[in-house]
Structure 1
Amino acid sequence: MSVQVSFLPDEVTVEAEAGEPLLQVAERAGVKIPTGCLMGSCHACEVEVVGGETICACISSVPENTSHLTIDVYVDPTW
């Protein structure tokens, strides 16, 4: 199933497949999400799902049963 993934604040949208790793989708869209441990422990890759929760992008994938996903990429200046 195809999902439109939008990244804020740059307002970049890319098509992705359900289950595709979120970092891979961001990279393909040209969006840089900072990473650290790549295991979800350090929280360097935290992003906010608009209308939802804060997730670690390194261990998250595009969810099923949705046609559009908006991710707010905020960067912690200490990373």
Structure 2
Amino acid sequence: MPRPAITIAWPDGRTTTAIPGQDWLEAARQASVLIPTGCLGGSCGACEIEVNGRVVRACVATVHSSPSGRLTVSLASDPHW
């Protein structure tokens, strides 16, 4: 059974959809949203985003389901990057 798409609200005000389990970097690329990357292995933290207030590392995380069917993304800012 196919998983229902999740609506993602991006920091620039646009919304797109993604399927739970899709890589965050791919979902951002499809939305033309640039998420900075560093190591691409989850250790440096350059790709940290906040999803519904929870910090995740986009290079190693996937879009998760939500009871509301909606996720809100904020780009974390790291003074070292």
What is the TM-score when the length of structure 2 is the normalising length?
Answer: 0.84
The residue number in structure 2 matching 1:28 is: 30
Aligned-residue Cα RMSD (Å) equals: 1.4
Deviations 1:43-69 (A, max 9, x none): 00011113x311101111111244111
Contact conserved, 1:34 with 1:75, CA < 8 A, in 2?
no
Identity %, equivalent residues:
40
The structure with the greater share of residues assigned to strand is 1
CA distance in 2, matches of 1:33, 1:7: 11
State whether structure 2 residue 6 is matched by structure 1 residue 6: no
Instruction: Name segments (4+ residues, structure 1) moved above 6 Å.
Output: none
> Which of the pair has more CA radius of gyration?
2
Task: Work out the number of aligned pairs and report it.
Answer: 77
In the TM superposition, residue 30 of structure 1 has moved relative to its aligned partner by: 0.5
SS of the residue 1:5 aligns to: strand
The farther-off stretch of 23-32 and 65-74 is: 65-74
- Which residue of structure 2 aligns with residue 73 of structure 1? 75
1:75 shift after superposition: 3.8
TM alignment of 1:37-52, pairs within 5 A: 37-50=39-52, 52=53
